[in-house]
Amino acid sequence: MKIYQGLIDFHPPKNAVVTSGTFDGVHLGHQKILNRLQELAQSKGGETVLLTYWPHPRLVLQPKNNTLRLLSTFSEKVTILTEMGIDHLLVLPFTEEFSQMSSEEFIGKILVDKIQTKTLVIGYDHRFGKNREGSFEYLQSHSHLFGFELEEISRQDVDELGVSSTKIRIALAEGDIHTASKYLGRSYSLSGLVVQGQQIGRSIGFPTANIQVEDPYKLLPRDGAYAVYAEINGIRYKAMLNIGDRPTVEGGKKTIEAHLIDFQGDLYGQELTVYFEAFLREEKKFASLEDLKNQLMLDREQAIFIL
C-alpha cells in the first residue's frame, strides 16, 4: 500500500475507486465498505484509494473536548489496511481552514481534479464539506456534473452489522471485550515500549512488562485485570494484564503491566503488543502484598483457562 501525506506527491491511479472517512478502528462496518471498494476496483481494472484525515476532525472542531480516544493509531490503521489489500492511503491534514471547504469545493478540487475519481463508494450516513452539508443525496442529484460513478452502502447493509466506532468505545470503557472484539472482527490491541517500573511484581513472583503507549489519543480499556495475548518479536504468549493505579502499592499513576506466562527474558526497550481476550476482574486494593499474590495466582489460572 502506498501512503501519501497530503496531495503534493499523489499521482492519480488508473480508474480510481475511492472512499472517504476517518475509519477509526477499521471495524466490520468499515470492512464492508472496503471489501466492496476492492470488488469494484477488480471489476473495473482500477485501484483502490482510501481518503482519510488527520488529526481526527473532532479534535479540530471541538478542541475543548479532549476526551476523544481513538481505537486505532495511525500505524495500526496502516497495518490493517495493508492486510486488507488497499492500494493507496491518502491522508489529508484536517485544519480549521480545511473544515470550511464547501462540499462543491471538496468534490471539484479533491475528488475530481486531484484524485480523478472514477467511482466513489460511501456509507449511507457519510457527510462531507463545511457543516457536513454534502450527502449521498447531494452527490446523486449532481452526479452528471462530476464524471464519476456513485455507489452507496445502504442503511440496511450497515444496520445489519449493528456496529459503530462509538459502540466499540463504549464497550471497551465498560470492559466488555467480547462485544468490542465482535464489532471489530478481531481482538482489540495496543502497543508500546517496555519501560522499567518499580519491579514490585518481580518481588512476589509475577514479573511484569510495563508498557508505555506513546499515542495520547489511544483508547485504553476500563481499569482492571485482563486475559491477553502478548506478542514480542512475532511470538505470542499467554499473558494477564492490569490497567490502573495499583492501589495496593499506592502507585498513584495509571500503568499498563503485562505478566507473560511461561516467558523468561529481558523485554526492556522492546515493542510489545497485547491483544485483549477477556475481562477478569476490577482493580482493587488488597490488604497486603501476600493477598495480592494470592489473587494473581487465581488470575493466572483463569487467564490460562480462557486463553
Residue 222 contacts residue 179 (beta carbons within 8 Å) = no
Residue showing cell 503485562: 258
Can you read off the three cell numbers belonging to residue 268?
Answer: 526492556
Tell me the C-alpha distance between 117 and 17, whole Å.
Answer: 6
| Digitized pLDDT (tens) for each residue of the chain, 307 residues in all | 999 999 999 999 999 999 998 999 999 989 999 999 999 999 999 999 999 999 888 888 887 767 889 999 999 999 999 999 999 999 999 998 988 888 888 888 999 999 999 999 987 677 777 766 767 777 877 777 788 998 887 656 666 667 889 999 999 999 999 999 999 999 999 999 999 877 776 778 788 999 999 999 999 999 999 999 999 999 999 999 999 987 777 666 899 999 999 898 889 999 999 999 999 999 988 888 898 889 999 999 999 999 9
The residue assigned the cell 473536548 is: 65
**Which amino acid makes up residue 79?**
T
* Domains with residue ranges and CATH for the chain: 2-163 (3.40.50.620), 187-306 (2.40.30.30)
